[in-house]
Amino acid sequence: MSAKESRPRSASLSKAVAQPKRRRFLRRFWFPAVLMLAIAAGGLTGIVAAYQLNYSQAASEVASLATYRPSVVTRIYADDGKTVIGEFALEKRIPLKYDEIPPVMKNAILAIEDARFNDHIGIDPIRIIGAGWKNFREGTREGGSTLTQQLAKNLFLSREQTFKRKMNEWLVALQIERYYTKQQIMEMYANHIFLGAGAYGVEAGAETFFNKQAKDLSLEEAALLAGIPKAPGQYSPTVNAEAARERRNLVLEQMAKYGFVSQAEADAAKSKPIKLADTVDYQSQLRSTPFDYPVEQIRQDLEDKYTTRVAQGGLSVYTTINVEAQKKAYDVVRARLRQYDRARGWRSAYTNIATVNNGVSTVTKEQLENYKYPDWYANDYEKGEFIIGLITKIDQARNEATARFGNYTATVTAGDMGWSGRQPRSEFKLGDLCEFELTEVDKDKRRLKVKLSQVPAVQGAMLTLNAKTGEIIAMIGGYDFYTNKFNNATQAYRQTGSAFKPYIYAAAIEWGMTPDSIVSGAPITRGSWTPHNYDGSTGNGDVPLKIALAKSLNVPAVHLLDMVGIQTGAQMVRRFGITVPMAPYLPSALGATEVPLDQMVSAYSAFPNKGVRVQPHLVRKVLDRDGNILQEWEKTTYKVLNEYVALTMVSMMRGVIENGTATSARVLGVPLAGKTGT
């Protein structure tokens, strides 16, 4: 073989020998190389993670949870300091401390959300791998999020489904676990979760769905609440009762699986129906109460000073409103408005729930069965109440109609049509909302007997003031707040009529006259205007001041203002705290000036207070969520009259009750002084 031939063979042989050496080298060093790369990558990841854990925005946000104060309910209390008459909230939340959360509630949450909660550091690799394998094997999408991750997502992160957001969720969860104990994390979670129907946190959820405190929840009730946060729109019992039941039963199964309850206990709870409070369907609806007008006035006053803290800051507002006085005023005003309205005839004016399409009104069976009127809240009715009912059936042959009041029903016969003089078959349409007076209430059968009434077309107001302290004891601004939010006690400027006369008489007494001083009752004319007395006469002869005031004679009042002077009269009115300037004309003596009711009541407080007017107020004090006093009312007074003038006026105004235009008030049997507004 030649040299030429031997060289290729030699090269081939060398190459063949080199390849096994290279393979041996790779076999020997590939694992260490990969390991080194993994360590380097892990180290780099650790450095990045450490940086994120210590210096990222998430780190500072999580650290701020130490002072985390979720939005909570502001509550308005009556003058007893206990009765809640109103609430303000963007999120209805009643925070609980960890020890106040009942064990059954904690266990239900852990069973369905994170059974290994006490064993992980914020993220759970075992759960993540298990969920990933199940998703791969079954083609499902099961999450591996821990309870801490869910808290991180709810507090700090968006809902987008991206890898970046998931990584941020892990980092924030790790941060939370670094800063807070498991008890603190559970407390934050239990107070933050959204449960539907406007409720945030387990205490608000218990109150909303079951009308009880969380500490009183049964096993099945706690399981129901624990199952909602995953998808409130799907698992809320007010939205989808069947889905809520299935989800509740899953929670119970998980509780048995992880040993929180026995299987027998879980099975017994699963067999029970979901029983919600009657109030749950009305949580988001605005319903009428006797306290609506003062509560709304308080809200407006507070927001001027505390802005967003009113709806989010958990303030405790202690008011001057007396529960019994407010309810009595509510009943009296409504009764008098109905009486006044009745004298003006029947109107057959009803609202109807029908849907209008292309000018055609239709009402479905489903609408009639499911409609909820706000005042049906709790289905708790008493004889004598006036409640709106829904006409759900009309029997032409029997001349009867069926009205529904939440879970109660009533048959309306011809004899139940009250003073309307109408017949059920012709008066009503399906879907009509009509006011009825309840004459009998059968709570066992949930049946009512009723009499047709009519919502007044006129409004009125009442304001009761403690003349010594300035505390408003009762305030009624109209017949029904949610059909007319205009507060006639504070916003309505109305002519005062004869109630204005005491200001003019006070000016006359201060001017030097006495109750026995004679004032002219001769006819008086200014231009085309001639005042008349209530009986239509244009004159009445000369009379003492005390008689002229007691009988509310108009002509002497005009003479009196003419004597003391319009400027003097106007100055006296301003001293009483009336902000509306008195018109510079003699008719002002008869109450032509328009004044809001609250100013009139405040002005009158000067008479029994020996000439000192008190500033009316609704709030005694305001506390923040920690019990610190933010505001405490300090009595504000204004000197209007000297003591002699004030007491003289009280004596003269007592004559209005004893032998004047308000003798009917004597039946009350208590010392009274005042002035009618004829």
The tens digit of pLDDT for each residue in 247-256 reads 999 999 999 9
Residue 41 has pLDDT above 70, yes or no: no
664 to 461, 500, 667, 669: CA distances (angstroms): 20, 21, 6, 11
Residue type, 114: D
Residue 136 has pLDDT above 60, yes or no: no
Spell out the SS3 assignment of 19-58.
HHHHHHHHHHHHHHHHHHHHHHHHHHHHHHHHHHHHHCHH
The tokens describing 480, both together, are 């029904």
CA 331: distance to chain centroid? 22
- Which residues does 181 contact at the CB level (< 8 Å), separation at least 6? none
What's the pLDDT score for residue 138? 58
What's the pLDDT score for residue 45? 47
Mean pLDDT computed over 405-425: 96
Cβ contact 424:450 at 8 Å: no
- Tokens 């609430």 correspond to 87
Spell out the SS3 assignment of 299-328.
HHHHHHHHCCHHHHECCEEEECCCHHHHHH
What's the pLDDT score for residue 170? 81
Q: What is the mean pLDDT of the chain?
A: 89
For the ranges 92-106, 132-146, 430-444, the lowest mean pLDDT is seen at 132-146
DSSP output for 574-632: HHTT--SPPPSSGGGGGT-SEE-HHHHHHHHTTTTTTTEEE--BSEEEEE-TTS-EEEE
Kindly indicate whether the domain formed by 493-606+641-668 is annotated with CATH number 3.40.710.10.
yes
CA 610: distance to chain centroid? 40
Residue 27 has pLDDT above 80, yes or no: no
544: nearest Cα among 504, 514, 517: 517
Higher local confidence (pLDDT), 54 or 472? 472
Residue 19 has pLDDT above 80, yes or no: no
The tens digit of pLDDT for each residue in 340-380 reads 999 999 999 999 999 888 888 899 999 999 998 988 877 78
The tokens describing 211, both together, are 């009308």
Mean pLDDT computed over 141-148: 73
Element (H, E) at 651: helix 643-659
483 to 282, 414, 431: CA distances (angstroms): 17, 28, 18
Coil vs helix vs strand at 523? coil
The tens digit of pLDDT for each residue in 284-307 reads 666 789 999 999 999 999 999 999
Residue 559 has pLDDT above 90, yes or no: yes
CATH superfamily for 351-452 is Nucleic acid-binding proteins (2.40.50.140)
Distance CA 71, CA 93 (A): 7
Residue 258 has pLDDT above 90, yes or no: yes
What's the pLDDT score for residue 47? 42
Higher local confidence (pLDDT), 92 or 611? 611
Distance CA 624, CA 622 (A): 7
319 to 293, 390, 473, 633, 674: CA distances (angstroms): 13, 36, 9, 10, 27
Residue 82 has pLDDT above 70, yes or no: yes
Mean pLDDT computed over 606-615: 97
The tens digit of pLDDT for each residue in 302-336 reads 999 999 899 889 999 999 999 999 999 999 999 99
Per cent of the chain over pLDDT 90 is 73
Cβ contact 674:662 at 8 Å: yes
Q: pTM value?
A: 0.80
What's the pLDDT score for residue 175? 86
Residue 225 has pLDDT above 70, yes or no: yes
Model confidence at 278, pLDDT cuts 50, 70, 90, reads confident
The tens digit of pLDDT for each residue in 424-481 reads 999 999 999 999 999 999 999 999 999 999 999 999 999 999 999 999 999 999 999 9
Model confidence at 483, pLDDT cuts 50, 70, 90, reads confident
- Tokens 């009402």 correspond to 363
The tens digit of pLDDT for each residue in 151-169 reads 888 887 555 555 565 677 8
Residue type, 569: G
Coil vs helix vs strand at 453? coil
Distance CA 441, CA 503 (A): 50
Higher local confidence (pLDDT), 529 or 24? 529
Question: Which sequence spans correspond to the domains of the chain?
Answer: 98-282, 351-452, 493-606+641-668
Q: Tell me the fold of 98-282.
A: Penicillin binding protein transpeptidase fold (1.10.3810)
What's the pLDDT score for residue 496? 96
Quick one: CA dihedral 305, 311, 313, 316, positive or negative? positive
What's the pLDDT score for residue 246? 97
For the ranges 223-227, 239-243, 279-283, the lowest mean pLDDT is seen at 279-283
516: nearest Cα among 553, 541, 549, 539: 549
